Amino acid sequence: MARITTYNNDIDVIHLDKWIGTDATNGFTKNFKAEEIGKYLNKYSVVSILGQLAYKFNTDINPPLGRGRGTITLPNGGGDGAGFSALENFKVNKYSSYNYSGGELKDLGVLLEYFFKYEVVIFKATNPNIFGHFRFESFTVDTENPGYYDVNLGLIYSNGTLEKDEFYAISMLGIGTDKHYMHDQDSASAIWSVTHNLYKYPSVTVVDSGENIVYGDVAYINDTQLTINFTSAFSGKAYLN
């Protein structure tokens, strides 16, 4: 074999180009396609991209592996071929897909909690055209297994379906934009209790069922909850910004 320095440089890398390397399992010399290396990087979040994490969609939640680290799973398992609306309620492991088959453990709980304060897009790592766009509802630690989180989202739009054992990236939206929430008060009441999960103290505009603006006293309980007190009971909507 000639010296490496004698070979010409390829300045136009395409997906069918190959590298020669060593298989970590058996030590054999093999070819590695650029396309397959790209898939590896997408699946396992080896190259960190702020605002994006990849997870394997696991449909089998039975022992001995259970749900598996580096996974997203439905509460009762399954979901192969389901629409993205199935992900309105799911469990996510606190480790990313990089840890799925034994990589270094990196607890991403803090980042995940931050992610799900915003709208997110969940898309297939090898085909971003397969995706679901969701709004935040809630994010809590799994009481039975603190290594997982229970995620509740509201579907905004989607295209395509979920596939077992495929990898999906979770991408955060909304950074740098204002968050808002609409509270729908169906039953007439003089005291409206609102859980908005905006993580701020929002301005509030209230309208009755006839779209007339009504003024009340807003009391902030914390950065995710407030109450609005009125002189009489009625139904309507509250817009929080």
Condensed to tens digits (0 to 9), the pLDDT of residues 66-116 reads: 888 889 999 999 999 999 999 999 999 988 766 555 556 678 888 888 877
Per-residue tokens: 117: 């304060």
Whether the Cβ atoms of residue 122 and residue 170 lie closer than 8 Å to each other = yes
DSSP run (H or E) holding 39: helix 34-44
Residue 63's pLDDT is 67
- For residue 167, the tally of other CB atoms under 10 A from its CB is 22
Q: How much of the chain, in percent, has pLDDT values that exceed 90?
A: 46
The mean pLDDT of 171-192, rounded to a whole number, is: 82
Mapped onto helix, strand or coil, the DSSP state of residue 211 is coil
Whether the Cβ atoms of residue 57 and residue 166 lie closer than 8 Å to each other = yes
What is the C-alpha separation between 127 and 118, in angstroms, rounded? 23
∠ CA(107), CA(113), CA(116), 5° rounding? Answer: 130
Q: What does residue 143 show for φ and ψ, rounded to 5 degrees? A: -65, -25
Residue 219's pLDDT is 97
The mean pLDDT of 172-193, rounded to a whole number, is: 83
Task: Return the top range by mean pLDDT from 135-144, 176-185, 204-213.
Answer: 204-213
Q: Which amino acid does the sequence have at 177?
A: T
Residue 79's pLDDT is 97
Residue 72's pLDDT is 94
Whether the Cβ atoms of residue 117 and residue 175 lie closer than 8 Å to each other = no
Per-residue tokens: 189: 């009441």
- For residue 54, the tally of other CB atoms under 10 A from its CB is 24
What is the C-alpha separation between 229 and 220, in angstroms, rounded? 11
The mean pLDDT of 18-44, rounded to a whole number, is: 72
Q: What is the DSSP letter of 8?
A: P
Closest to 120 measured CA to CA, from 169, 58, 70, 71: 169
Whether the Cβ atoms of residue 151 and residue 132 lie closer than 8 Å to each other = no
Per-residue tokens: 153: 């989202």
Tens digits of per-residue pLDDT, 130-175?
A: 999 998 888 899 988 888 999 999 898 999 999 999 989 888 875 5
pTM given for the model: 0.59
Question: Residue 205: which residues within 8 A CB-CB, separation 6 or more?
Answer: 213, 238, 239, 241
